[in-house]
C-alpha cells in the first residue's frame, strides 16, 4: 500500500514561495545594479565615506565641536542613514516600475518593495565590517554592548519596511509622491542627529527631532558602537513607532493591492 505524504498547508506553502521570490528578486536587483561595474558592491562604501570626508572638513569644526573622534561619529550615522534612504527611494517606485508584471502574473506583490529594502539591507550588512574596522582603528574597541546592535538593526529594518510598503502603495495612485519622498528625505536627514549630536539641539526645538523615530535609532547606533552604553529610553519609543509603521504600511498595502493592476 502506497502512503501519500500530506501536502503542506497552503499558508505555509505560500509563505515559502513568497520568501523564495523575495530572495530571488533581491539578488536580481543587486546583480543588475552592479552589472558591468568594476568595483561592484564596493560602491556601497563610496557614498557614505565620500560624504563623510566632505562633511568632516566642511562642518567638523562647527557641528563636531566638543565631539571626540568626529569622523567616527559621522560615519556611524551616515552608514545606517544611507541604508534607510536607499531603501525608501528604491521602494517608492517599485509597483509603478513593475506595472507589466502586476498585470500579467499573480504573485505576492509585497515582495517588490520588500526586495528593494532587503537589497539595501544586504548592502548595509556588507559595508558594516568596514565601518567596524574604522571604529576599531579610531580607538573604539569592541565591548559587550556591541551585542545589542542586532536589536537596533532589527528596529530600523521594521521601520524601513513599514514606510517602504506605505510609500510604494500610495505612489501607485499619487505619482508625485515619489518625488515628494526625495524632498522629505532631505528634511529628515538634517532633522535627524546624524551630522550633529542631539545634545546640541536647543531645548525648545528638541520635540522636532524626537518626533522622528529615526533620531533615537541613530543615537542608539552611537550609544552601542561608539560609547559602549545602553541606548537611551527613546529607543523604546522608536520600537513602538517601528511596529506602528509596519502595521500601517501593511494595512495600506492590503487595502490598495487589488487596484494596483488597474492604476499602473
Instruction: Output the pLDDT for position 169.
Output: 94
The pLDDT tens digits for 23-35 are 777 777 766 666 5
Give 2's pLDDT tier (boundaries 50, 70, 90): very low
* Residue 116, C-alpha cell as written in the block: 528593494
Residue 97: Cβ-neighbour burial (10 angstroms; 0-12, 13-18, 19+): middle
CA–CA separation, 214 vs 23, rounded Å? 26
Length in residues, the chain: 264
192 or 15, higher pLDDT? 192
Sign of the Cα torsion 165, 169, 172, 177 reads negative
At residue 133, the pLDDT reads 85
At 253 the pLDDT is 94
Q: Sorting pLDDT into bands at 50, 70 and 90, what band is 7?
A: very low
Separation between Cα atoms, residue 206 and residue 199, nearest integer Å: 9
> Does position 8 have pLDDT exceeding 60, yes or no?
no
| pLDDT confidence of residue 264 | 73
For the chain, which residues make up each domain, given as ranges? 31-263
The mean predicted confidence, pLDDT, of the chain is 82
pLDDT in tens, 201-241: 888 887 777 789 999 999 999 999 998 898 888 899 999 99
Q: Residue 62's pLDDT is what?
A: 56
pLDDT at 1: 43
For 16, 18, 120, 179, the CA distances from 21, given in Å and listed in that order, are 9, 5, 17, 28
Give CA–CA dist 248/53, Å, rounded.
Answer: 37
Model confidence pLDDT, tens digit, residues 42-86: 656 666 666 666 666 655 555 555 566 778 888 899 899 999 999
Query: How confident is the model at residue 4, as a pLDDT?
Result: 44
Distance from C-alpha of 67 to C-alpha of 175, rounded to nearest angstrom:
42
pLDDT for 5: 46
CA 194, CA 179: separation in Å to the nearest integer?
23
Amino acid at each position: 500500500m502506497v502512503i501519500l505524504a500530506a501536502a503542506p498547508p497552503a499558508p505555509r506553502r505560500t509563505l515559502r514561495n513568497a520568501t523564495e521570490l523575495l530572495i530571488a528578486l533581491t539578488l536580481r536587483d543587486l546583480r543588475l545594479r552592479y552589472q558591468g561595474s568594476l568595483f561592484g558592491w564596493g560602491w556601497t562604501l563610496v557614498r557614505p565615506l565620500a560624504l563623510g570626508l566632505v562633511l568632516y572638513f566642511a562642518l567638523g569644526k562647527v557641528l563636531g565641536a566638543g565631539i571626540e573622534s568626529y569622523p567616527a561619529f559621522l560615519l556611524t550615522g551616515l552608514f545606517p542613514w544611507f541604508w534607510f534612504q536607499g531603501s525608501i527611494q528604491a521602494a517608492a517606485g517599485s509597483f509603478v516600475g513593475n506595472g507589466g508584471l502586476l498585470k500579467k502574473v499573480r504573485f505576492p506583490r509585497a515582495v517588490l518593495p520588500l526586495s528593494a529594502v532587503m537589497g539595501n539591507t544586504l548592502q548595509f550588512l556588507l559595508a558594516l565590517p568596514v565601518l567596524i574596522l574604522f571604529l576599531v582603528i579610531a580607538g573604539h574597541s569592541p565591548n559587550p554592548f556591541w551585542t545589542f546592535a542586532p536589536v537596533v538593526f532589527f528596529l530600523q529594518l521594521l521601520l524601513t519596511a513599514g514606510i517602504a510598503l506605505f510609500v510604494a502603495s500610495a505612489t501607485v495612485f499619487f505619482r508625485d509622491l515619489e518625488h515628494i519622498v526625495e524632498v522629505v528625505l532631505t528634511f529628515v536627514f538634517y532633522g535627524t542627529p546624524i551630522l550633529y549630536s542631539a545634545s546640541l539641539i536647543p531645548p525648545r526645538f528638541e520635540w522636532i527631532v524626537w518626533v522622528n523615530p529615526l533620531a533615537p535609532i541613530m543615537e542608539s547606533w552611537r550609544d552601542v558602537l561608539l560609547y559602549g552604553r545602553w541606548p537611551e529610553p527613546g529607543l523604546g519609543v522608536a520600537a513602538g513607532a517601528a511596529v506602528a509603521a509596519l502595521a500601517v504600511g501593511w494595512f495600506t498595502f492590503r487595502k490598495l493591492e487589488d487596484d494596483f493592476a488597474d492604476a499602473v
